[in-house]
Copies of this chain bind each other. A is one copy, B any other.
Amino acid sequence: MRTFVAVVDTGRFQDAAADLSISQQAVSKRIAGLEKDLAVRLFTRTAHGARLTIDGQAFLPHARELLRVAERAVASVLPGSRPLRVDVIASRSAASGLMRGFHRAHPEIELDVVMLFDIEAAVAAIRSGAIDASFRAVAVPGRPLPEEIDSVWVQDEVLQLLTGPDHVLAGARSVTLAQLTGHRIWMPGIVPGTEWAAYYDDLVAEFGLTIEATGPNFGSDALLDTIADTPALATFMGKQTRLVWPAGHGLRRIPVTDPTPVYPHSLLWRRDNPHPGLAVLRDHLAAASAGPGDAGIWAPGWATRR
């Protein structure tokens, strides 16, 4: 690809060869090999050099794009000035949505999103510099963060009930947590030991819900399919989570009240992290911070808010 683009840019095989510090014959072989693999002619050879064929013209932007992507791929693991690397607690969480919003607002800031196991791993990664920031629920002062790590509350993610059209509660305008007692709540993909597990453990203990965290996570599609088809099953989902599901599933979002369960997201970062994107992210989040207010909400006792 690099050779192909070099020939396009220089217009001559031998100039491209000089650019690449190889022989003209090597360029000829590379192009011939590429043309053989693709089974099309990319250049018309003239006495003045090489001109793109129509196929070559169509191929060129894809070749350039490939080189760009390859460069970004290398940059993503390059120590030094690599992209801002942020850990989110789950791909469907509000943290993911916030990062998408940040990317829309600052597309010039290269971004990589990763998912670590729990806050222990996140704190270790932040300390080592392997990641630049992390969205997590911060524990109460009982287990304080290391001194060099700062954190700031960002958003309370309001949880809603998601049911299929045939669920008993499908028609309800809202439900209370107490009303959910006895109903089966299904949360596949909750890994024991993570904050989500701790969160729902607390929720179960306090309100006597029946939450089934069993079963592997086959992805959003499988979850939504099952919820839509099973009248006895419901699940929790963030209010802002935007899902695409096939039309006609008839899924219902039902607000939960008295109290409304929320998941408090904070941003964690190392105070002396010099990454320029980090300050921009903090500023962006400060402006985007929002929550339902303190009235009538519930969060686990171990989690700090604000």
Binding site for B on A (CB under 8 A): 38-40, 54-55, 57-59, 61-63, 65-66, 69-70, 72-74, 76-77, 79, 82-83, 85, 112, 114-116, 125, 130-131
Contacts and interface: CB of A to CB of B under 8 A. Distances in A.
Contacts of A114: 54, 57-58
Contact of A112 (B58, B115, B125): B58
A82 to B, nearest CB: 8
A73 B125 CA distance: 37
Given A38-B77, A40-B77, A62 B69 contact: yes
Task: Give the secondary structure class of A's interface.
Answer: helix
Nearest to A131: B54
Most chain B beta-carbon contacts within 10 A, residue among A39, A55, A69, A77: A77
A168 to B, nearest CB: 39
17 contacts: A38-B77, A40-B79, A54-B116, A54-B131, A55-B77, A55-B130, A57-B114, A58-B82, A58-B83, A58-B112, A58-B114, A59-B76, A62-B76, A65-B69, A66-B69, A66-B70, A69-B69
Given A66-B69, A73-B62, A76-B62, A115 B57 contact: yes
A85 B58 contact: yes
Given A65-B69, A66-B69, 10 more contacts: A40-B79, A54-B114, A54-B116, A54-B125, A58-B82, A58-B114, A62-B72, A62-B73, A63-B73, A66-B70
Q: Number of copies of this chain in the oligomer? A: 2
Contacts of A79: 39-40
A65 B74 CA distance: 13
Given A66-B66, A66-B70, A76-B62, A130 B38 contact: no
B38 A74 contact: yes
Contacts of A72: 62
Nearest to A51: B117
Contacts of A55: 77, 130
A13 to B, nearest CB: 20
A5 to B, nearest CB: 12
Contacts of A40: 77, 79
Contacts of A62: 69, 72-73, 76
A287 to B, nearest CB: 25
A125 B69 CA distance: 31
Contact of A73 (B59, B74, B115): B59
B58 A76 contact: yes
B77 A73 contact: no
